Structure 1
Amino acid sequence: MHQAFRYRGKANYRDALFLTYEAHAATVLNGFLDDLATVLEAFVNMAGAFSAIRIGASDWQAFINDLDDHLNLLVKPSDVWP
C-alpha cells in the first residue's frame, strides 16, 4: 500500500511538474511508466493475496472462476492470481 501511495503522489505532484523541464519528456516518461506498471503489478498481487486469505481458498477460487467466465478482458484474473 505504501509503495502504491508513494507513486500516486509522485504522479500527481512531483513528476508532472518536472516533466515540463525536459526538452524530450519521452525518455523520462518511459522509465516512469515502467515503474508505474511494476507498482500496479505488486499492488494487484498483494490485493489478491490478501483477499484470498480473507475469504478462504474455495470462495476465492469460485470468484476467480466467475471473473474468468464473465469478464471480457485481455488479461484473465487467473493469469494474475493463480
Structure 2
Amino acid sequence: MMHADLIDQDDFRDRLQALGIPVPSGVSPEQACQQALCGLNKEQALALRRLVEELLSGSATLLPSVREAIARQLLPALAQQH
C-alpha cells in the first residue's frame, strides 16, 4: 500500500512555526498565511519563500485549502518583497 504525504492545516502551521513564525493552533490556512505575513523580517521572508517553493514543487499533496491560501495570500505578498 502506498502512502502519500499530505500537508493539512496542522502540518502547514507546524512548518511555519519551525521558521519562527508564531501561528496559534486551530487557525485556518488563510489565517495562518495572514499571521505569517505580519512583521516578517528579510530572513523570515526568504525562509517563507523557500518553504512555499518546496511545498508547491514537492511530492507531498497539499490540502486544497492550504494550496488556495498560499496562492491567494503568500504568493502575491512574497512576489512584492522580491
Q: Into which bin does the TM-score normalised by the smaller protein fall?
A: 0.3 to 0.5
- Larger relative contact order (C-alpha < 8 A, sep ≥ 6)? 2
TM-score (norm 1): 0.36
Structure whose residues are more often strand by fraction: 2
Larger radius of gyration: 1
Structure whose residues are more often helix by fraction: 1
